[in-house]
C-alpha cells in the first residue's frame, strides 16, 4: 500500500479514539516531512547532498509492548505502518483491547501479526525490535539482539511537574488531568510535583479538586487485590508518617482507593504505587542534585509557567520533553520519543551515488 | 514496671491459654501506648481515644513504620538487641529494637515445639549471628540449634558451603532439619542436584523471591527440593516471619494454610475499606504478636492472604509494590547471582516471554 493510503488508513482508525485526535493526515505528513523529508515518499531516490538517497523500512518490525497503557502499542504500530514495514506485535499476557480495536479498523493489508507470546522466529527475523518495558526487560532483550538488528528501546521513565510561579485553578485542573489520564501508568504521567511557594496549599487544592471530581462521579473503581493492597499499604504508611513527622500531610478519597495526595516536605525521591497517587513537595534549592540519580530516566517535565527560564531548568534536570502542566499526556505527533526520532529509527537510508537523472 | 507483663507473656508462651489472649493483648496495647510515644501519636491520629475491648480493634502500625521511626516501648538506653530488614533497595531499612531477647527466644522455641517440629540436628543455610548481628533469621537459627556454630552453613562471604554440607549430611543416619531461605535453597540446588537426607528429616524454607531477579514459584521449588533431598513435598515446611515480628507462622507442604501458635493472631484486612475482609476474601495480613512486647504488638503487613478459619491463612505473597524485605532478604542479598539462569535454560522464547511479562 502506498504511503498516502497508509496515512489515510491510520487517520481513519485513529478517529475512533478521542486520545488519538492529533493523528490527522496533515499532522502525519508533517511528521514524515520533518523526520525524513521526501525520502520515504517515493520509490525514486531523492537528491541528498551530492548524491541520492532513499529511506527503506526495516522490515519486519517486532514490537514488544507493555500492558500499562494502550498508547505505546498504537504509537509503535503507527510508526511501523507509516514507514511501510511489516509489523509483528508481542502483546502483554492480558492483551490490549484498545490495540485490538485499532487493528480491527485497519485494512487487512496493514494488520500486524499479533500474539501474547513470541512466535517461531519472530526475534530472529526482525530487522528492528521495538521494546517497551522496564530497564531489566530492555536489558534482557538487548542481550539477544543480533548485530544486524536495530534495537529501539523505550525503558521505564519518570515524569514530574514543576510549578515555579503562582498557580491558579487552571494549573490545579491541569495537574489533576495529568494524573488521571491512563490512571497514571504512562511514562508521561507525573509521579510528583515540585512547588515553589506554598506546596502544602498546592497539595490541598489538588486534593480538593480530586474530591470534587470523584464525589460527583458514579463510577466505581475496581482495582485488583494486588493493586488495592499496594495502594492501601501506601496510604497507611503515609498516614503513619503524617502522624509522626512534621509537615507530612495526607488527603485521601473517603472510603475507597480512588485517589491519594501526599504532601511531603522532604524533597527526596520516593516510590509511588501510581493509580492516582500523587506526591507534592517543596522545590529544594538543589533540585538538580536531588534529581541527579534519575536524570537519565526522566521523560517529561510539566512546567508552569512555560518560559525560557523554566524550560532551561527542565532541560538541565534531564527532561526529554518539556510541556505545560495539563499537557503532559498529549505529546505532539512530531515529538522525539525519549529524545530520539521515531520514524527515522525504523528505516535504513540507502545512498545512491552517481545516479543519472533525466 | 514492664516486668510483670513481660513475665505474664513469657508464661503465656510457655503454657498457652487461648482464653487469656485478649486480656493480655489489651494490657500490652495499653502499656505500649503509654510507653511508646511514636505509637501513641499514631493512635491519636487515628482518633483512637476510647478504650478498646477487642484485640481486633488494636491499632496496627504499617510494617514500613519500622523504617521511619524507632518504635520502642522502652528507653533506648536499655536496648539489648536490634534486628534490621535488609534495606537493599536503597530506601533504607527497618529496625526492630528489643529490650531483651528472652521473649524472642521463647517465642522461637515454643513456636517450633508447638507445631511439633523436630529438634533434629540442624543444618542452617544462614550465617552465624556473630557474622550477621542484625539478622533476626540468624538469631532464630541460633536459638533453635542452641548456638552450635557448626550448624551454620553459609560462609562469611555469603556463599552456601556445599562441600561441608554434603559431608555433614552423608555422615548422618538420624534425621536432620535443613533450614534456609528460598534463595539459599535455590543457590544450593544450582551447586548440587543430589543430597539425600536421612529418613525422617525435614526442610524448613522461609522467605520469597520478591524484588529479586529470579521468580520461582513455590511449587517448582518444592518439587526440585524433594528430588534433590529425596524427600516428600509434605516434609517441606514454610516459616512465615519477619524482622518486625517476634513469632512465626508455619505451613506444611503445598497449598496448606499457615498456622499460628496461640500467642499470635491475625486478621485479613480488605484493602479497599481497611476493615476486616469477608470470609474467603483476599486482603492484607494484619498480625497481633504478644511476643512483640518491646515494640508494637499489632503490625499491618504488605502481604496478601485469605483467612482459613481463625487458626490460619493461605499466603498469597507480597503485593507487587511492596519493597523487598523480610528476614530472608538480608540473607538473599548475600547470595544473589546471575539473573534468569533457569529461564535461559528453558529456551530463548520462553525466557524472553517471561521477561516481557515480568515488567
Residue percentage of chain A with pLDDT more than 90: 78
Q: What is the pLDDT, as a whole number, of residue B141?
A: 97
Instruction: Find the CB nearest A117 among B46, B340, B353.
Output: B353
The model carries a pTM of: 0.86
Alpha-carbon distance B254 to B36, whole Å?
Answer: 40
Mean pLDDT of B301-312: 91
Residues of A in contact with B41 (CB under 8 A): 243-244
Q: Which residues contact A130 (CB under 8 A, 6 or more apart)?
A: A61, A62, A63, A64, A76, A80, A152, A153, A154, A346
The grid coordinates listed for A224 are 485488583
Q: What is the pLDDT, as a whole number, of residue A271?
A: 86
DSSP E strands in chain B: the ranges are 61-62, 81-84, 95-98, 122-125, 177-181, 202-206, 236-240, 249-252, 258-259, 264-270, 275-276, 282-289, 298-308, 312-318
Outline which parts of chain B fall under CATH 2.30.38.10.
3-75+258-318
Alpha-carbon distance B93 to B249, whole Å?
Answer: 23
3-class secondary structure, B10: helix
pLDDT tens sequence across B176-231 = 999 999 889 988 999 999 999 999 999 999 976 554 433 457 888 899 999 999 99
b/e code B42-66 from CB counts within 10 Å (16+ = b)? bbeeeebeeebeebeebbbbbbbbb
* DSSP tag of A344: G
pLDDT at B25 over 60: yes
Q: Report CB contact under 8 Å: A241, B68.
A: yes
Order of strands, sheet of A150-154, starting from the edge strand that comes earlier in the sequence: A113-115, A87-90, A61-64, A128-132, A150-154
Q: What is the pLDDT, as a whole number, of residue B326?
A: 28
Q: What is the pLDDT, as a whole number, of residue B153?
A: 96
Query: What are the Cα distances from residue A292, in Å, to A138, A316, B50?
Result: 22, 10, 48
Alpha-carbon distance B130 to B154, whole Å?
Answer: 12
Cβ(B155)–Cβ(B161) below 8 Å? yes
Minimal CA separation from A238 to chain B, in Å = 9
Residues of A in contact with B355 (CB under 8 A): 136-137, 140-141
- Searching chain B, which residue's CA lies closest to the CA of residue A118? B349
Residues of B in contact with A239 (CB under 8 A): 45-46
Q: What is the pLDDT, as a whole number, of residue B210?
A: 53
Domains of chain A: 3-155+338-352 (3.40.605.10), 158-324 (3.40.309.10)
Cβ(B138)–Cβ(B129) below 8 Å? yes
Mean pLDDT of A177-196: 92
Minimal CA separation from B356 to chain A, in Å = 6
Alpha-carbon distance B265 to B263, whole Å?
Answer: 7
Cβ(A25)–Cβ(A14) below 8 Å? no
Contact with chain A for residue B91, Cβ under 8 A: yes
Q: Report CB contact under 8 Å: A243, B45.
A: yes
Minimal CA separation from A292 to chain B, in Å = 15
Q: Residues for chain B: how many in total?
A: 359
Q: Spelled out in words, what is the top-level CATH class assigned to the domain B104-257+326-358?
A: alpha beta
Minimal CA separation from B105 to chain A, in Å = 29
Outline which parts of chain B fall under CATH 3.40.50.
104-257+326-358
Mean pLDDT of A288-294: 92
Mean pLDDT of B224-250: 96
Contact with chain A for residue B349, Cβ under 8 A: yes
pLDDT at A134 over 80: no
b/e code A23-38 from CB counts within 10 Å (16+ = b)? bbeebbeebbeebbee
Q: What is the pLDDT, as a whole number, of residue B51?
A: 87
Query: What are the Cα distances from residue B171, in Å, to A199, B122, B175, B197?
Result: 67, 13, 11, 10
Closest CA to B169 of B144, B141, B149, B192: B192
Model ipTM value: 0.85
Mean pLDDT of A229-248: 96
Q: Report CB contact under 8 Å: B353, A118.
A: yes
Q: Which residues between 279 and 318 in chain B have a beta carbon less than 8 angstroms from any beta carbon of chain A?
A: 282-284, 300, 302, 304, 316
Residues of B in contact with A225 (CB under 8 A): 271, 282-283, 304, 316
pLDDT at A190 over 70: yes
Q: What is the pLDDT, as a whole number, of residue B216?
A: 52
Instruction: Find the CB nearest B348 among A144, A240, A256.
Output: A144
CATH topology of domain B3-75+258-318: Luciferase; domain 3 (2.30.38)
- Searching chain B, which residue's CA lies closest to the CA of residue A68? B359
Q: Report CB contact under 8 Å: A256, B68.
A: no
pLDDT tens sequence across A153-170 = 998 889 999 999 999 999
Mean pLDDT for chain B overall: 86
Mean pLDDT of A253-278: 93
Backbone φ and ψ for B267, nearest 5 degrees, come out as -130, 150
Minimal CA separation from A108 to chain B, in Å = 27
Q: Which candidate in A228, A240, A242 is best for mutational testing of the B interface (most B CBs within 10 A)?
A: A240
Q: Report CB contact under 8 Å: B357, A136.
A: no
More confident residue, B246 or A92: B246
Q: Report CB contact under 8 Å: A271, B61.
A: no
Mean pLDDT of A99-111: 97
B37-45 and A225-244 helices cross at what angle (nearest 10)?
120
Alpha-carbon distance A82 to A85, whole Å?
Answer: 8
Mean pLDDT of A213-218: 85
Question: Would you give the distance in Å from CA A198 to the centre of its chain?
Answer: 29
Residues of A in contact with B356 (CB under 8 A): 64, 66, 90, 92, 118, 133, 137, 141
pLDDT tens sequence across B89-139 = 456 789 999 999 999 999 999 999 999 999 999 999 999 999 999 999 999
Longest dimension (CA), chain B: 64
Mean pLDDT for chain A overall: 93
DSSP E strands in chain A: the ranges are 46-48, 51-57, 61-64, 87-90, 113-115, 128-132, 150-154, 158-163, 190-195, 249-252, 260-263, 277-282, 298-304, 321-324, 347-352
Mean pLDDT of B290-314: 94
Residue with the three cell numbers 525514486? A44
More confident residue, B62 or B333: B62
More confident residue, A68 or B197: B197
Cβ(A189)–Cβ(A179) below 8 Å? yes
B327-334 and B182-191 helices cross at what angle (nearest 10)?
30
Closest CA to A98 of A210, A178, A205, A182: A182
pLDDT tens sequence across A32-55 = 999 999 999 767 899 999 999 999
- Searching chain A, which residue's CA lies closest to the CA of residue B319? A226
Amino acid at each position: 500500500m502506498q504511503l498516502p493510503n497508509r496515512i489515510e488508513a491510520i487517520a481513519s482508525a485513529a478517529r475512533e479514539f478521542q486520545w488519538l485526535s492529533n493523528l490527522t493526515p496533515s499532522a502525519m505528513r508533517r511528521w514524515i516531512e520533518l523526520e525524513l523529508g521526501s525520502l520515504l515518499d517515493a520509490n525514486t531516490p531523492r537528491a541528498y547532498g551530492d548524491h541520492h538517497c532513499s529511506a527503506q523500512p526495516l522490515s519486519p518490525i517486532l514490537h514488544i509492548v507493555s500492558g500499562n497503557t494502550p498508547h505505546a502499542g498504537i504509537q509503535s504500530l503507527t510508526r511501523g505502518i507509516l514507514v511501510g514495514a511489516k509489523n509483528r506485535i508481542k502483546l502483554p499476557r492480558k492483551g490490549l483491547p484498545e490495540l485490538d480495536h485499532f487493528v480491527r479498523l485497519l485494512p487487512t493489508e496493514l494488520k500486524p501479526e499479533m500474539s501474547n507470546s513470541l512466535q517461531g522466529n519472530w526475534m530472529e527475523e526482525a530487522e528492528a525490535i521495538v521494546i517497551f518495558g522496564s530497564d531489566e526487560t530492555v536489558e534482557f532483550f538487548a542481550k539477544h539482539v543480533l548485530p544486524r538488528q536495530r534495537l529501539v528501546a523505550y525503558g521505564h521513565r519518570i515524569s514530574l511537574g514543576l510549578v515555579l510561579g503562582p498557580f491558579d485553578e487552571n494549573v490545579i485542573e491541569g495537574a489533576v488531568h495529568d494524573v488521571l489520564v491512563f490512571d497514571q501508568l504512562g511514562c508521561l504521567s507525573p509521579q510528583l510535583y515540585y512547588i515553589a511557594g506554598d506546596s502544602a496549599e498546592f497539595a490541598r487544592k489538588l486534593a480538593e479538586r480530586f474530591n470534587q471530581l470523584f464525589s460527583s462521579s458514579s463510577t466505581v473503581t475496581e482495582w485488583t487485590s494486588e493493586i488495592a493492597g499496594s495502594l492501601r499499604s501506601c496510604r497507611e504508611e503515609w498516614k503513619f508518617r503524617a502522624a509522626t513527622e512534621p509537615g507530612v500531610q495526607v488527603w485521601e478519597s473517603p472510603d475507597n482507593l480512588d485517589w491519594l495526595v501526599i504532601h511531603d516536605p522532604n524533597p527526596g525521591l520516593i516510590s509511588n504505587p501510581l493509580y492516582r497517587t500523587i506526591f507534592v513537595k517543596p522545590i529544594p534549592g538543589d533540585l538538580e542534585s536531588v534529581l541527579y540519580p534519575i536524570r537519565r530516566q526522566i521523560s517529561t517535565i510539566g512546567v508552569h509557567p512555560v518560559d525560557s527560564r523554566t524550560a532551561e531548568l527542565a532541560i538541565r534536570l534531564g527532561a526529554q520533553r518539556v510541556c505545560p502542566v495539563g499537557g503532559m499526556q498529549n505529546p505532539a505527533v512530531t515529538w522525539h520519543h525519549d529524545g530520539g526520532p521515531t520514524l527515522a529509527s525504523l528505516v535504513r537510508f540507502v545512498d545512491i551515488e552517481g545516479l543519472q537523472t533525466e | 514496671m514492664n516486668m510483670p507483663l513481660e513475665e505474664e507473656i513469657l508464661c503465656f508462651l510457655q503454657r498457652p491459654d487461648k482464653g487469656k489472649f485478649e486480656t493480655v493483648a489489651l494490657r500490652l496495647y495499653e502499656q505500649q501506648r503509654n510507653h511508646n510515644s511514636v505509637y501513641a501519636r499514631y493512635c491519636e491520629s487515628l482518633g483512637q481515644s476510647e478504650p478498646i475491648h477487642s484485640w481486633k480493634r488494636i491499632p496496627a502500625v504499617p510494617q514500613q513504620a519500622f523504617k521511619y521511626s524507632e518504635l520502642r516501648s522502652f528507653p533506648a538506653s536499655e536496648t539489648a538487641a536490634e534486628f534490621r530488614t535488609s534495606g537493599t533497595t536503597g530506601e533504607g531499612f527497618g529496625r526492630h529494637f528489643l529490650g531483651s531477647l528472652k521473649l524472642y527466644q521463647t517465642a522461637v522455641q515454643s513456636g517450633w515445639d508447638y507445631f511439633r517440629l523436630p529438634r533434629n540436628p540442624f543444618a542452617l543455610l544462614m550465617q552465624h549471628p556473630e557474622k550477621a548481628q542484625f539478622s533476626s533469621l540468624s538469631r532464630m537459627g541460633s536459638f533453635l540449634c542452641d548456638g552450635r556454630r557448626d550448624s551454620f552453613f553459609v560462609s562469611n562471604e555469603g556463599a552456601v558451603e556445599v562441600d561441608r554440607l554434603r559431608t555433614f549430611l552423608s555422615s548422618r543416619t538420624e534425621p536432620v532439619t535443613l533450614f534456609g531461605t528460598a534463595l539459599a535453597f535455590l543457590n544450593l540446588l544450582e551447586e548440587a542436584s543430589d543430597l539425600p537426607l536421612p529418613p525422617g528429616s525435614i526442610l524448613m524454607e522461609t522467605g520469597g523471591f520478591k524484588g529479586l531477579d529470579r521468580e520461582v514459584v513455590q511449587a517448582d521449588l518444592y518439587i526440585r527440593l524433594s528430588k534433590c533431598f529425596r524427600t516428600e513435598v509434605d516434609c517441606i515446611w514454610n516459616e512465615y516471619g519477619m524482622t518486625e515480628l517476634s513469632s512465626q507462622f508455619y505451613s506444611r507442604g503445598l497449598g496448606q494454610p499457615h498456622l499460628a501458635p496461640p500467642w499470635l493472631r491475625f486478621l485479613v484486612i480488605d484493602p479497599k475499606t481497611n476493615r476486616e475482609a469477608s470470609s474467603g476474601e483476599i486482603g492484607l495480613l494484619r498480625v497481633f504478636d504478644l511476643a512483640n512486647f518491646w515494640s508494637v504488638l499489632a503490625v499491618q503487613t504488605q502481604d496478601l492472604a485469605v483467612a482459613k478459619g481463625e487458626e490460619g491463612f493461605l499466603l498469597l505473597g507480597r503485593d507487587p509494590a511492596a519493597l523487598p524485605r523480610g528476614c530472608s532478604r538480608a540473607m538473599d542479598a548475600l547470595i544473589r547471582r546471575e539473573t534468569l539462569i533457569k529461564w535461559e535454560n528453558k529456551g530463548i522464547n520462553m525466557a524472553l516471554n517471561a521477561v516481557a511479562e515480568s515488567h
